[in-house]
């Protein structure tokens, strides 16, 4: 009788155990770079080049204009088109 009761308790407790959440397949989820998003939303394409200081990403806009993505985002580039959607992110 004790064996049956012990087995029943063990099964009940094991049914309450929660499996740990599995990591999403495909790696770590990341937040999008707002400067890159601004470039893409202004119909630009991104070009990353290796420099002695590290990687530098440029926004290539229609018409052949090229600007560093963060300069464009901050408005320091004459090719910048203001993207109102980015304002909701506080930038």
User: How open is the CA angle 61-31-49, to the nearest 5 degrees?
Assistant: 40
Split at pLDDT 50, 70, 90, the class of 30 is confident
Split at pLDDT 50, 70, 90, the class of 29 is low
Q: Give the phi and the psi of residue 68 in degrees, each rounded to 5.
A: -60, 135
Burial class (CB in 10 A: 0-12, 13-18, 19+), 49: exposed
Q: What is the pTM of this model?
A: 0.55
Q: Which of 19-28, 43-52, 56-65 has the lowest mean pLDDT?
A: 19-28
């Amino acid at each position: 009788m004790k064996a049956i009761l012990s087995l029943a308790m063990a099964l009940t407790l094991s049914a309450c155990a929660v499996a740990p959440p599995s990591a999403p397949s495909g790696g770590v989820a990341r937040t999008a770079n707002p400067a890159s998003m601004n470039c893409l939303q202004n119909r630009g394409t991104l070009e990353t080049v290796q420099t002695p200081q590290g990687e530098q990403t440029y926004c290539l806009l229609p018409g052949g204009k090229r600007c560093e993505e963060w300069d464009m985002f901050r408005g320091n580039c004459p090719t910048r088109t203001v993207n109102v959607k980015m304002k909701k992110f506080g930038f």
